[in-house]
Amino acid sequence: MFTAIVYARTSTTQQKTQETIKAQIARAKAIVERRGLTVLKYGLRKDGWLVDDGVTGSMLAGRELAKLIDDLEMAKVRPDFLIVYSLSRIAREDKTSGMQKQVQSAQDWGRIKAVLRASGVKVLDEDGENDPNNVLFDLKTSLSGEEYKLIRARTMAGKARHLADNKDARGGKAPYGYMHVGSKGNWHREPHPEDSKHLVQILKWIVQGGFTYAASKATAAKFLTPMFDTTDRKNKAKDWTPTRWTPVTVQNLAKNASLYLGSQTVIYDGKPHKLTYPPIIEPKLYRDVQLRVRQKALSRRLVMLSTGYVKCACGAWIHCKNSHDKHHATCPKKCGRMSEKEFSAALWNFVVARLVEIAQVKPTKASKDTLSARIAEAKAAVATIEQDIAQLLDLYGLGLDKSVWKIRNDALNDRKAQAQAEVMALEVERTEAEGKKAQEKSLESRIRWVLREVRGEVRLDRKRAILGQLLGLGNFATIMFCQGYARLTLPAFKTLPKITVRTDKDVWTQMQGVSREVLDLIYEADDAIEHVAVG
């Protein structure tokens, strides 16, 4: 009587649907009965059946099969056959991942074959016996590797197709405040009936008092945390409860607040996919949360004139670093650095020169508001789609086939979500444009008084306030580190284009139509006006 151990495995979602463990076990039982084999009392359940459900075959670690290979190598068990419904279930050599994974996969597959061959265990599948000593064994496993490539390509193509159709196909939990609706791998996001309201309240608490304040308020209100269902997680605090919020959890919500505006750009297989879904928060609340996060970040850093206002050309924020008791304006990505004292002096001279440049330009007339017209058009498009949905529902009531109604209704709802996302994006753009316009107008109306203030000794906090007014909402200066010097760039201000100067040359001589003499004339004119007013 020959003995056997049975092994079944699935990895991808598609396999778990088409080649379920239950189906594999049924086929393996048929092989056992047809051959008259005796299944050894082996494995976790001592029934001779090893199961890896949803586990990749490219690696051996973490699989029940790994224990069998160890026991075969140490001669703790010696079956005549290892039964699988297909030879591809044992392993697939990874030929698509990075070098480390490919090397490990090849080593694992080589060890499996060597142990099976040395222990005299043959693999039995629906096609018959497979001897590890036979060249056909290697041929069949190579073909299974090609099958793996096809499955991977089909899986990724399917996910990309779902993402293009505005479906979240990547798996995992939905962001806190949302829930997944629909079938797995083909679902879309909808606001959670309770968590979405809790999210809005938590973000408001962040604006009011910060992360610790919001965490204490959420804990007192007994809101369920995003991790409420992971009661068996490792390394949890002894006093952890599903309703205990920490400042870190709250901070993560604030950092990812853009997710709750109704759209998210997902990078999958190197290509961007934009997902749209119903928003939970208003643009104003998002802006207030971002300002609070920025204030928190600035309070933790050594503040200099450029902190929070200047980015490197690579996109990273410039930080002040201390080296040998000297402070340097440094790019965290190692693009370059320069003395903080020299950098701040050059930046401040640049700011003053820009203010003089603004003072010489006549105030501009208010431009026509085109965003309001575009928002009205986008809202009209949403209303039209809603009418189409209502008319389709009437047709369904008059006898339209349900499958036809569902296809058309899903298509209309997708169009509606995209139109609503466009409205939201335009409203955010208008809010930012209005804030920038108001800030520019305020600075333009007070420019002469600001320049008079610049004439004296200005404190760091006041310099930062003036720089912030000059940049406006959401804008920043840029620095490009060069060999021995740096290039500083300020963004456009109304009709004035953006401008770049070098730090190794006098800033004033690099500005068009601006000089220290112009600044002196402004001072003298203001002094004369003040003298006449006093006299």
HEC states along 276-305? ECCCCCCHHHHHHHHHHHHHHHHHCCCCCC
Same domain? For 140 and 212 the reply is no
End-of-domain residue from the set 394, 418, 438:
438
Same domain? For 405 and 500 the reply is no
Total Cβ atoms within 10 A of residue 2 = 12
Number of domains in the chain: 4
Asked whether residue 173 is domain-assigned, the answer is no
Q: What is the DSSP letter of 225?
A: P
Q: What's the pLDDT score for residue 371? A: 80
CA distance 224 to 226: 7
Same domain? For 43 and 124 the reply is yes
Same domain? For 424 and 473 the reply is no
Asked whether residue 355 is domain-assigned, the answer is yes
Asked whether residue 307 is domain-assigned, the answer is no
Q: Please, are residues 336 and 486 in contact by the beta-carbon 8 Å criterion?
A: yes
3-state secondary structure of 58: coil
3-state secondary structure of 426: helix
Same domain? For 229 and 110 the reply is no
Residue pLDDT, tens place only, 143-171: 665 665 666 667 777 777 777 777 777 66
Give the strand pairing for 81-83 and 188-191.
unpaired
First to last CA, the chain: 121
Q: Mind giving me the DSSP string for 121-160?
A: PEEEETTEEE-TTSHHHHHHHHHHHHHHHHHHHHHHHHHH
Same domain? For 377 and 490 the reply is no
Q: What's the pLDDT score for residue 16? A: 46
Q: What's the pLDDT score for residue 12? A: 53
In terms of C-beta distances under 8 Å and separation of at least 24 residues, what long-range contacts does 509-515 make, across chains too?
A: 511/353, 511/354, 511/357, 512/357, 513/357, 513/360, 514/353, 514/356, 514/357, 514/360
Q: What is the DSSP letter of 261?
A: G
> How large is the C-alpha radius of gyration of the chain?
33
Q: What's the pLDDT score for residue 268? A: 74
- Bridge partners (DSSP) of residue 500 are 489
Backbone angles phi, psi at 130, to 5 degrees: -130, 110
End-of-domain residue from the set 108, 137, 164:
164
Same domain? For 417 and 468 the reply is no
Same domain? For 210 and 355 the reply is no
Same domain? For 288 and 257 the reply is yes
Closest C-alpha among 185, 479, 58, 155 to residue 310: 479
CA distance 183 to 203: 30
C-alpha dihedral, 178 to 183 to 188 to 191, nearest 10°: -30
pTM tops 0.85: no
Q: What's the pLDDT score for residue 17? A: 44
Q: What is the CATH number of the domain that holds 235?
A: 3.90.1750.20
Q: What is the CATH number of the domain that holds 94?
A: 3.40.50.1390
Q: What's the pLDDT score for residue 14? A: 45
CA distance 515 to 249: 52
Asked whether residue 308 is domain-assigned, the answer is no
Same domain? For 137 and 154 the reply is yes
Work out whether the CA dihedral 67, 71, 76, 80 comes out positive or negative. positive
Given a cut of 70, the residues of the chain with pLDDT beneath it are: 12-19, 96, 139, 141-153, 170-171, 184-185, 230-239, 297-303, 323-325, 362-368, 473-474, 512-535
- Bridge partners (DSSP) of residue 490 are 499
Closest C-alpha among 525, 519, 529 to residue 360: 519
Residue 134 lies in domain: 3-164
Asked whether residue 73 is domain-assigned, the answer is yes
Non-local (6+) Cβ contacts of 6 within 8 A are 25, 28, 32, 39, 48, 49, 50, 82, 83, 84
Distances in Å between the alpha carbon of 248 and those of 94, 156, 215, 222? 38, 34, 9, 17
Q: Please, are residues 104 and 59 in contact by the beta-carbon 8 Å criterion?
A: yes
What is the Cα 204 distance to its own chain's centre? Answer: 23
Q: Is 49 left (phi over 0), alpha (psi -120 to 50) or beta?
A: beta
Asked whether residue 194 is domain-assigned, the answer is yes
Q: What's the pLDDT score for residue 488? A: 93
Same domain? For 348 and 242 the reply is no
Q: What's the pLDDT score for residue 531? A: 38
**Number of continuous H segments (helices) and E segments (strands) in the chain:** 16, 17
End-of-domain residue from the set 414, 438, 462:
438
Q: What is the DSSP letter of 182?
A: S
Asked whether residue 309 is domain-assigned, the answer is no
Asked whether residue 51 is domain-assigned, the answer is yes
Residue pLDDT, tens place only, 380-431: 988 999 898 888 888 888 888 888 888 888 888 888 888 888 888 888 778 7
Q: Mind giving me the DSSP string for 463-519?
A: HHHHHHHHH-TT--EEEEE-SS-EEEEE--BTTBPPEEEETTS-HHHHSTT--HHHH
Same domain? For 330 and 470 the reply is yes
